[in-house]
A = this chain, B = another copy of it.
């Protein structure tokens, strides 16, 4: 039997999810609702996703007058796919949607970093109490598997620490500065033109995005109880060409590295530009993300992939959905 899916949010990630689901040849999932700020499209028997996507792109999608919260509270679905934008301070509106769905005993899959970073413990407990899954692979590293890697292939391993490059925008800027010898401001402008950086790039370049991801990892993997303010955070705007040049002469590169190491006095929870040898597996280029997961048995495991992108993020969401399907 198909699992009924409600998708809250119809931006880049929502579109990716709908595209990916529309191309699946099995009937594991049936999308019964899609909402955005303008209303909802609903069909109990399953929406024609290709048609919805076409109309959305043409700007002639007909919605009914129901809010996202109406759908979360009233609609008949098994999995809520919550893909609204991240608000790092309040987690809203995603946080309220997630709470409502979990209370109703629905599984939740989200790409929204706000709710997970702010309320991981409460949400996980609420999910447990209601005997449903609360999954968020897409919040860290885009298509690069992190949580699912630790749950499945690295199961049985004690995880000692996690560090890596978790923001493609910063990695692009630092890579271009180093390879072309161009100053920060010039590369940032270029990144904005290419759509790699936002018009207001603060969230990325000041390391806030990476810090949120470290909070999610700290709380969910290591059972810590920390927030954004607990992260020792420095962004990349102060990285100068001279520093990159000196690094290059020593066969090093400068990368914005996030790190979580949970243990006692060695405890580390930080985001900062750091020197990485050019030959080190974390020294990936362009917009790539890279994570080093230090484990007790398997040793150091690196995983590298695209940290962003509509379909790539949808791939992470799909892996969570398939995990839920495998439990049925």
Contacts and interface: CB of A to CB of B under 8 A. Distances in A.
A20 interface: yes
Given A149-B149, A283-B279, A304-B301, A156 B295 contact: no
A51 B304 CA distance: 41
B156 A319 contact: yes
Nearest to A281: B304
Nearest to A19: B297
A167 interface: no
A144 interface: yes
Contact of A298 (B143, B279, B283, B301): B143
Interface stretch (A91-99, A214-222, A305-313): A305-313
Contact of A297 (B137, B153, B303, B311): B311
Contacts of A298: 143-145, 305-306, 312, 315-316
A194 interface: no
A303 B301 contact: yes
A203 interface: no
A322 interface: yes
Contact of A154 (B309, B311, B314, B319): B319
Interface in A278-328: 278-279, 281, 283-285, 288, 290, 295, 297-306, 309, 311-312, 314-316, 318-319, 321-323, 326
A152 interface: yes
Given A20-B297, A279-B283, A322 B156 contact: yes
Interface residues of A, number: 46
Given A153-B148, A153-B153, A154-B145, A314 B297 contact: yes
Most buried by B among A137, A297, A321: A297
Nearest to A284: B281
A63 interface: no
A301 B297 contact: no
A312 B300 contact: no
Contacts of A278: 278-279
A157 B288 CA distance: 19
A153 B157 contact: no
Contacts of A20: 156, 297
A155 interface: yes
**Which of A151, A315, A316, A323: most chain B CB closer than 10 A?**
A315
B323 A152 contact: yes
A295 B314 CA distance: 13
Nearest to A292: B304
A153 B281 contact: no
Given A154-B319, A303-B303, 7 more contacts: A145-B301, A151-B152, A156-B318, A281-B284, A298-B312, A301-B304, A302-B304
Interface of A: 20, 24, 137, 143-145, 148-149, 151-157, 278-279, 281, 283-285, 288, 290, 295, 297-306, 309, 311-312, 314-316, 318-319, 321-323, 326
9 contacts: A143-B301, A152-B152, A154-B319, A281-B281, A281-B290, A301-B305, A302-B304, A303-B303, A304-B304
